[in-house]
Amino acid sequence: MIDLKLNKCEEEKGVAPQISVIVPSFNYERFLKETIESILNQTFQDFEVIVVDDGSKDSSMSILKQYQQKSSKIKLFTHPNHQNLGLPRTLELGIKQASGNWVAFLEADDAWNLNCLSKRMEAVSDKNVGFCSNKIDPIIEVGASDTWFRSYVPRVEKQLKKLQGDIGSLDLQDHILSENLIPTFSCAMVKRELLLDCDFDTPVDAWLDWYLWTQIFQKTKGVFVDISLTRWRLHNSSQNSKKSLFNFLQNYSVFRKSLAYKFASEPCKNKESKIRQLEAPIFVPLTERFCLGVREIGFVPFFKQVIKRFSRL
Protein backbone atom coordinates (compact mmCIF):
# COMPACT_ATOMS: atom_id res chain seq x y z
CA MET A 1 0.00 0.00 0.00
CA ILE A 2 1.35 3.42 -0.96
CA ASP A 3 1.79 5.99 1.81
CA LEU A 4 0.08 8.94 0.14
CA LYS A 5 0.54 12.59 0.92
CA LEU A 6 -1.18 15.17 -1.26
CA ASN A 7 1.40 16.11 -3.89
CA LYS A 8 2.31 19.74 -4.52
CA CYS A 9 1.09 19.68 -8.12
CA GLU A 10 -2.42 18.77 -6.97
CA GLU A 11 -2.38 21.45 -4.28
CA GLU A 12 -1.21 24.15 -6.65
CA LYS A 13 -3.50 23.33 -9.57
CA GLY A 14 -6.70 22.91 -7.60
CA VAL A 15 -8.29 21.01 -10.50
CA ALA A 16 -6.68 17.66 -11.21
CA PRO A 17 -6.51 16.16 -14.73
CA GLN A 18 -8.70 13.18 -15.51
CA ILE A 19 -5.71 10.98 -16.34
CA SER A 20 -2.17 10.71 -15.02
CA VAL A 21 0.08 9.00 -17.56
CA ILE A 22 2.97 7.25 -15.80
CA VAL A 23 6.11 6.47 -17.77
CA PRO A 24 8.80 4.44 -15.97
CA SER A 25 12.11 5.20 -17.69
CA PHE A 26 15.33 3.19 -17.63
CA ASN A 27 18.00 3.27 -20.34
CA TYR A 28 15.63 3.49 -23.31
CA GLU A 29 17.01 6.66 -24.88
CA ARG A 30 16.44 5.42 -28.44
CA PHE A 31 12.71 4.93 -27.89
CA LEU A 32 11.82 7.88 -25.66
CA LYS A 33 11.03 10.39 -28.40
CA GLU A 34 8.41 8.15 -30.00
CA THR A 35 6.96 7.26 -26.60
CA ILE A 36 6.63 10.82 -25.28
CA GLU A 37 5.32 12.24 -28.54
CA SER A 38 2.67 9.52 -28.77
CA ILE A 39 1.40 10.80 -25.41
CA LEU A 40 1.58 14.52 -26.09
CA ASN A 41 -0.20 14.16 -29.44
CA GLN A 42 -3.25 12.38 -28.03
CA THR A 43 -6.63 13.63 -29.23
CA PHE A 44 -7.77 13.55 -25.57
CA GLN A 45 -5.73 16.21 -23.78
CA ASP A 46 -6.93 16.26 -20.14
CA PHE A 47 -3.88 14.52 -18.71
CA GLU A 48 -0.55 14.99 -17.00
CA VAL A 49 2.60 12.99 -17.70
CA ILE A 50 4.53 11.64 -14.71
CA VAL A 51 7.93 10.33 -15.84
CA VAL A 52 10.04 8.54 -13.24
CA ASP A 53 13.58 7.77 -14.32
CA ASP A 54 15.02 4.78 -12.47
CA GLY A 55 18.69 5.71 -12.57
CA SER A 56 19.31 5.63 -16.32
CA LYS A 57 22.97 5.67 -17.38
CA ASP A 58 22.32 6.74 -20.97
CA SER A 59 21.03 10.11 -22.21
CA SER A 60 17.43 9.46 -21.13
CA MET A 61 17.44 12.26 -18.54
CA SER A 62 18.73 14.79 -21.06
CA ILE A 63 15.99 13.84 -23.53
CA LEU A 64 13.32 13.98 -20.85
CA LYS A 65 14.43 17.39 -19.61
CA GLN A 66 14.17 18.74 -23.16
CA TYR A 67 10.57 17.54 -23.41
CA GLN A 68 9.82 18.91 -19.94
CA GLN A 69 10.88 22.37 -21.15
CA LYS A 70 8.58 22.06 -24.17
CA SER A 71 5.46 20.86 -22.35
CA SER A 72 4.02 21.88 -18.98
CA LYS A 73 2.18 18.54 -18.89
CA ILE A 74 5.43 16.67 -18.17
CA LYS A 75 6.67 16.25 -14.61
CA LEU A 76 10.00 14.46 -14.16
CA PHE A 77 11.02 12.60 -11.02
CA THR A 78 13.93 10.42 -9.91
CA HIS A 79 14.74 8.42 -6.81
CA PRO A 80 17.06 10.02 -4.21
CA ASN A 81 20.59 10.43 -5.62
CA HIS A 82 19.24 9.11 -8.94
CA GLN A 83 19.39 5.54 -7.63
CA ASN A 84 18.18 2.50 -9.57
CA LEU A 85 15.50 1.00 -7.30
CA GLY A 86 13.59 -1.16 -9.75
CA LEU A 87 10.13 -1.05 -11.31
CA PRO A 88 7.98 -1.54 -8.16
CA ARG A 89 9.47 1.48 -6.35
CA THR A 90 9.47 3.48 -9.60
CA LEU A 91 5.75 2.94 -10.18
CA GLU A 92 4.98 3.63 -6.53
CA LEU A 93 6.72 6.99 -6.80
CA GLY A 94 4.83 7.82 -9.98
CA ILE A 95 1.46 6.92 -8.48
CA LYS A 96 2.20 8.93 -5.35
CA GLN A 97 2.97 12.00 -7.48
CA ALA A 98 -0.05 11.50 -9.74
CA SER A 99 -3.22 13.54 -9.26
CA GLY A 100 -5.56 12.13 -11.91
CA ASN A 101 -8.62 10.00 -11.23
CA TRP A 102 -7.25 7.43 -13.68
CA VAL A 103 -3.67 6.21 -14.12
CA ALA A 104 -2.57 5.07 -17.58
CA PHE A 105 0.79 3.35 -17.89
CA LEU A 106 3.11 3.57 -20.87
CA GLU A 107 6.46 1.83 -20.76
CA ALA A 108 9.35 3.87 -22.14
CA ASP A 109 9.89 1.60 -25.17
CA ASP A 110 6.22 1.46 -26.23
CA ALA A 111 3.82 3.91 -27.89
CA TRP A 112 0.11 4.69 -28.22
CA ASN A 113 -2.06 5.40 -31.21
CA LEU A 114 -3.27 9.00 -31.13
CA ASN A 115 -6.83 8.09 -30.09
CA CYS A 116 -5.81 5.73 -27.29
CA LEU A 117 -6.93 7.84 -24.32
CA SER A 118 -10.10 9.09 -26.00
CA LYS A 119 -11.24 5.54 -26.81
CA ARG A 120 -10.50 4.37 -23.29
CA MET A 121 -12.40 7.27 -21.74
CA GLU A 122 -15.34 6.58 -24.03
CA ALA A 123 -15.33 2.95 -22.89
CA VAL A 124 -15.40 3.74 -19.14
CA SER A 125 -17.66 6.81 -19.27
CA ASP A 126 -20.97 4.99 -18.78
CA LYS A 127 -19.75 1.97 -16.80
CA ASN A 128 -19.03 1.35 -13.13
CA VAL A 129 -15.53 -0.07 -13.68
CA GLY A 130 -12.07 0.63 -12.31
CA PHE A 131 -9.96 -0.90 -15.08
CA CYS A 132 -9.64 -0.56 -18.85
CA SER A 133 -7.46 -2.38 -21.37
CA ASN A 134 -7.27 -2.59 -25.16
CA LYS A 135 -5.89 -4.60 -28.07
CA ILE A 136 -2.20 -4.43 -28.92
CA ASP A 137 -0.12 -4.31 -32.08
CA PRO A 138 3.54 -5.39 -32.00
CA ILE A 139 6.51 -3.27 -33.07
CA ILE A 140 9.06 -5.92 -34.02
CA GLU A 141 12.64 -4.70 -33.82
CA VAL A 142 15.32 -6.18 -36.08
CA GLY A 143 16.48 -9.51 -34.66
CA ALA A 144 13.53 -9.85 -32.28
CA SER A 145 11.15 -12.80 -32.27
CA ASP A 146 7.38 -12.42 -32.25
CA THR A 147 6.78 -16.10 -31.38
CA TRP A 148 5.72 -15.38 -27.83
CA PHE A 149 3.49 -12.50 -28.90
CA ARG A 150 1.67 -14.54 -31.55
CA SER A 151 1.16 -17.52 -29.24
CA TYR A 152 -0.23 -15.41 -26.40
CA VAL A 153 -1.61 -11.94 -27.13
CA PRO A 154 -4.26 -12.70 -29.82
CA ARG A 155 -5.51 -15.62 -27.71
CA VAL A 156 -6.02 -13.62 -24.50
CA GLU A 157 -7.57 -10.73 -26.44
CA LYS A 158 -10.19 -13.11 -27.85
CA GLN A 159 -10.72 -14.50 -24.36
CA LEU A 160 -11.31 -11.00 -22.96
CA LYS A 161 -13.76 -10.20 -25.76
CA LYS A 162 -15.65 -13.44 -25.08
CA LEU A 163 -15.73 -12.90 -21.30
CA GLN A 164 -16.99 -9.36 -21.76
CA GLY A 165 -19.72 -10.46 -24.17
CA ASP A 166 -22.91 -8.43 -24.28
CA ILE A 167 -22.59 -7.45 -20.61
CA GLY A 168 -20.04 -4.82 -21.49
CA SER A 169 -17.75 -5.38 -18.49
CA LEU A 170 -15.22 -7.93 -17.28
CA ASP A 171 -15.26 -9.85 -14.01
CA LEU A 172 -11.76 -11.36 -13.93
CA GLN A 173 -11.39 -12.07 -10.22
CA ASP A 174 -11.01 -15.82 -10.88
CA HIS A 175 -9.69 -15.90 -14.46
CA ILE A 176 -6.75 -13.62 -13.63
CA LEU A 177 -5.39 -16.12 -11.10
CA SER A 178 -4.41 -18.72 -13.73
CA GLU A 179 -2.92 -16.45 -16.37
CA ASN A 180 -2.12 -12.79 -16.91
CA LEU A 181 -4.85 -11.70 -19.32
CA ILE A 182 -3.52 -8.11 -19.48
CA PRO A 183 -0.29 -8.57 -21.48
CA THR A 184 1.47 -5.28 -20.72
CA PHE A 185 1.30 -2.19 -18.51
CA SER A 186 1.09 -0.14 -21.71
CA CYS A 187 -2.45 -1.35 -22.50
CA ALA A 188 -3.80 -0.70 -19.00
CA MET A 189 -5.64 2.19 -17.34
CA VAL A 190 -6.65 1.91 -13.67
CA LYS A 191 -8.48 4.00 -11.10
CA ARG A 192 -5.76 5.62 -9.00
CA GLU A 193 -7.53 4.85 -5.73
CA LEU A 194 -7.24 1.12 -6.48
CA LEU A 195 -3.51 1.36 -7.14
CA LEU A 196 -2.93 3.25 -3.90
CA ASP A 197 -4.29 0.24 -2.02
CA CYS A 198 -2.07 -2.32 -3.81
CA ASP A 199 0.91 -4.26 -2.53
CA PHE A 200 3.80 -3.74 -4.99
CA ASP A 201 6.16 -6.33 -3.44
CA THR A 202 5.64 -8.95 -6.13
CA PRO A 203 7.01 -12.47 -5.54
CA VAL A 204 8.27 -12.54 -9.16
CA ASP A 205 9.87 -9.30 -10.38
CA ALA A 206 9.00 -9.83 -14.04
CA TRP A 207 5.32 -10.34 -13.17
CA LEU A 208 4.66 -7.14 -11.24
CA ASP A 209 1.82 -6.23 -13.63
CA TRP A 210 0.09 -9.58 -13.12
CA TYR A 211 0.52 -9.29 -9.34
CA LEU A 212 -1.22 -5.89 -9.38
CA TRP A 213 -4.05 -7.10 -11.63
CA THR A 214 -4.79 -10.05 -9.34
CA GLN A 215 -5.33 -7.58 -6.50
CA ILE A 216 -7.27 -4.99 -8.49
CA PHE A 217 -9.75 -7.44 -10.01
CA GLN A 218 -10.77 -8.62 -6.54
CA LYS A 219 -12.18 -5.11 -6.02
CA THR A 220 -13.47 -3.98 -9.40
CA LYS A 221 -14.64 -4.98 -12.84
CA GLY A 222 -13.02 -3.84 -16.06
CA VAL A 223 -13.73 -3.09 -19.68
CA PHE A 224 -11.90 -4.28 -22.80
CA VAL A 225 -11.65 -2.01 -25.86
CA ASP A 226 -11.56 -4.24 -28.93
CA ILE A 227 -9.41 -1.77 -30.90
CA SER A 228 -5.62 -1.77 -31.29
CA LEU A 229 -4.53 1.32 -29.36
CA THR A 230 -1.15 0.24 -27.96
CA ARG A 231 2.03 -0.51 -29.88
CA TRP A 232 4.15 -2.94 -27.87
CA ARG A 233 7.81 -3.05 -28.81
CA LEU A 234 9.47 -6.46 -29.07
CA HIS A 235 13.25 -6.35 -28.84
CA ASN A 236 16.02 -8.55 -27.51
CA SER A 237 16.58 -6.52 -24.32
CA SER A 238 12.95 -6.70 -23.16
CA GLN A 239 11.84 -8.92 -20.26
CA ASN A 240 9.77 -11.17 -22.50
CA SER A 241 12.77 -12.24 -24.55
CA LYS A 242 14.47 -13.68 -21.45
CA LYS A 243 12.59 -16.83 -20.44
CA SER A 244 13.54 -20.46 -20.02
CA LEU A 245 11.11 -23.29 -19.34
CA PHE A 246 12.68 -24.14 -15.98
CA ASN A 247 12.57 -20.53 -14.77
CA PHE A 248 9.00 -20.13 -15.98
CA LEU A 249 7.77 -23.22 -14.10
CA GLN A 250 9.66 -22.22 -10.97
CA ASN A 251 8.31 -18.66 -11.07
CA TYR A 252 4.77 -19.86 -11.81
CA SER A 253 4.82 -22.12 -8.76
CA VAL A 254 6.24 -19.40 -6.48
CA PHE A 255 3.75 -16.85 -7.79
CA ARG A 256 0.71 -19.06 -7.15
CA LYS A 257 1.86 -20.03 -3.66
CA SER A 258 2.42 -16.38 -2.78
CA LEU A 259 -1.06 -15.44 -4.00
CA ALA A 260 -2.60 -18.29 -2.00
CA TYR A 261 -0.86 -17.02 1.12
CA LYS A 262 -1.97 -13.45 0.39
CA PHE A 263 -5.61 -14.44 -0.04
CA ALA A 264 -5.46 -16.54 3.11
CA SER A 265 -4.25 -13.58 5.17
CA GLU A 266 -6.56 -10.91 3.74
CA PRO A 267 -10.33 -10.56 3.29
CA CYS A 268 -11.62 -11.36 -0.20
CA LYS A 269 -14.69 -12.82 -1.89
CA ASN A 270 -14.89 -16.61 -2.16
CA LYS A 271 -11.59 -16.94 -0.31
CA GLU A 272 -11.66 -20.73 0.08
CA SER A 273 -12.42 -21.32 -3.60
CA LYS A 274 -9.58 -19.03 -4.71
CA ILE A 275 -7.09 -20.67 -2.35
CA ARG A 276 -8.05 -24.15 -3.64
CA GLN A 277 -7.58 -22.91 -7.20
CA LEU A 278 -4.13 -21.51 -6.40
CA GLU A 279 -2.99 -24.56 -4.43
CA ALA A 280 -3.86 -26.99 -7.23
CA PRO A 281 -0.82 -28.58 -8.97
CA ILE A 282 0.53 -26.23 -11.63
CA PHE A 283 -0.13 -28.75 -14.43
CA VAL A 284 -3.87 -28.08 -13.97
CA PRO A 285 -3.91 -24.39 -15.04
CA LEU A 286 -1.05 -24.91 -17.50
CA THR A 287 -2.93 -27.75 -19.23
CA GLU A 288 -5.95 -25.48 -19.49
CA ARG A 289 -3.81 -22.76 -21.04
CA PHE A 290 -2.28 -25.25 -23.48
CA CYS A 291 -5.73 -26.44 -24.56
CA LEU A 292 -6.88 -22.86 -25.13
CA GLY A 293 -3.83 -22.26 -27.31
CA VAL A 294 -4.43 -25.44 -29.30
CA ARG A 295 -8.08 -24.51 -29.78
CA GLU A 296 -6.99 -21.12 -31.09
CA ILE A 297 -4.41 -22.11 -33.73
CA GLY A 298 -4.23 -25.93 -33.76
CA PHE A 299 -2.03 -28.46 -31.96
CA VAL A 300 1.01 -28.54 -34.24
CA PRO A 301 1.37 -24.74 -34.73
CA PHE A 302 0.88 -24.05 -31.01
CA PHE A 303 3.25 -26.83 -29.92
CA LYS A 304 5.90 -25.47 -32.30
CA GLN A 305 5.46 -21.98 -30.85
CA VAL A 306 5.87 -23.29 -27.29
CA ILE A 307 9.03 -25.18 -28.24
CA LYS A 308 10.43 -22.15 -30.03
CA ARG A 309 9.51 -19.90 -27.11
CA PHE A 310 11.53 -21.94 -24.62
CA SER A 311 14.32 -22.98 -26.99
CA ARG A 312 16.83 -20.99 -24.89
CA LEU A 313 17.20 -23.93 -22.52
Contact (Cβ atoms closer than 8 angstroms) between residue 195 and residue 106: no
Amino acid at 205: D
**What pLDDT, on the 0 to 100 scale, is given for residue 6?**
42
**What pLDDT, on the 0 to 100 scale, is given for residue 122?**
98
Contact (Cβ atoms closer than 8 angstroms) between residue 189 and residue 215: no
- Rounded distance, CA 98 to CA 26, Å? 19
What Å distances lie between residue 198 and 17, 69, 88, 132, 202, CA to CA? 22, 33, 11, 17, 10
Q: Which residues of the chain have pLDDT under 50?
A: 5-6, 8-12, 312-313
Of 37, 212, 47, nearest to 110 by C-alpha is 37
**What pLDDT, on the 0 to 100 scale, is given for residue 8?**
47
Q: What is the mean pLDDT of the chain?
A: 91
**What pLDDT, on the 0 to 100 scale, is given for residue 204?**
97
- Rounded distance, CA 242 to CA 310, Å? 9
